[in-house]
Amino acid sequence: MDPSKKRKARLILALSVAVLLAGALVYSSFSASTEASTPSDVMKHGQPGRSYELTGKVAQGSVTRRGDRLLFSIRDRNGHASVPVSYVGVVPDPFREGREVIVSGQVRGKTFQAKRDSLVTKCPSKFTEDKKKA
């Protein structure tokens, strides 16, 4: 093969590998992703057996503990719809009533069964929330 043909063949090979990898990237990301949803979404359209990533605020006065289990409600960021959550695992330090949290899990009956250790609390760098309340 003359060098220019060889170079072209190499280029085509490299490009097809790149396209394949990109396809794998896109496919795997869509198939592995969990949908982010708000409490009102989950209440309305939540199907049992599907994984959701629930985001919202911890409802005031909803946090209780039963043995290892942490029970609380998440409500819409701007609204009142709320979903009771049952959670086992490590509770992040900044977890508080009124804070924004993310938790993944599935709907079982009326409650949201959270996946172990999936609770994430947003880290409030500025104490904007506290100040608004004060």
Partner 1 sequence: MAGLGSACLTVALLVAVYAAGASVYGAVTSKRAWVVSGRRAVYCLAGLTITATVVLQSAFLRSDFSFKLVADGSSTDTPTFYKVTAMWATQDGSLLLWALLLSIFSSAVLFLTRRSLREIAPWATAVLGVVAAFFLLLMVGWENPFTTLTNPPAEGVGLNPLLRHPAMMIHPPMLYTGYVGFSIPFAFAVGALITRNTGADWIRATRRFALVAWTFLGVGIMLGALWSYTELGWGGYWAWDPVENASLLPWLTGTAFLHSVMVQEKRGMLKIWNVSLIMATFVLALIGTFLVRSGILQSIHAFGASTIGTQFVVFIALAVIVSVGLVVWRLPDLRTDAKLDSLLSREAFFLLNNLVLVALALVVFWGTFFPLISEAITGTQASVGPPWFNRLTTPLALVLVGLAAVGPMVAWRRVTLSGLRRSLFWPLLFALTALVAIALLTNGADSLPALTMFGLAALVFSVVGQEFIRGTAARRATSGEPLPRALSALVGRNRRRYGGYIVHTGIAVLFLGVAASSAFHQQKDVRISPGQSFQSGDYHVTYVRPTARLGLDPGGTGAPISFGAVLRVRKGDQVRILHPARNFYPTQDASKGAIGRYFEGEATSEVDVRWGLRRDFWAAVRPDISSLDGPIREANRKFAGANGDVQGLIIGAIAERYRRHPPPATFRTIVSPMVSWIWIGGGIVLLGALLAGWPAPEARLRRVRSLYSARLGKELTSRA
Applying CB under 8 A, the residues found at the interface with partner 1 are: 21-22, 25-26, 28-30, 32-37, 53, 55, 65, 67-68, 89-94, 100, 102, 104, 117, 120-128, 130-131, 133-134
How far is residue 2 CA from its own chain's centroid?
54
**DSSP assignments along 48-91, one per residue:** TT-EEEEEEEEPTT--EEETTEEEEEEE-TTS--EEEEEEESPP
Smallest gap from Cβ 83 to partner 1, in A, equals: 17
**Residue with structure tokens 């989950």?**
42
Quote the least distance from Cβ 7 to partner 1, whole Å.
8
Q: Which is nearer to partner 1, 17 or 108 (CB)?
A: 17
Q: Which is nearer to partner 1, 21 or 109 (CB)?
A: 21
Q: Are 56 and 112 in contact (CB under 8 A)?
A: no
Give the nearer residue to partner 1 in terms of CB position, either 109 or 128: 128
Question: Which H or E run contains 8?
Answer: helix 3-32
We find the least distance from the C-beta atom of residue 14 to partner 1, in angstroms, to be 8
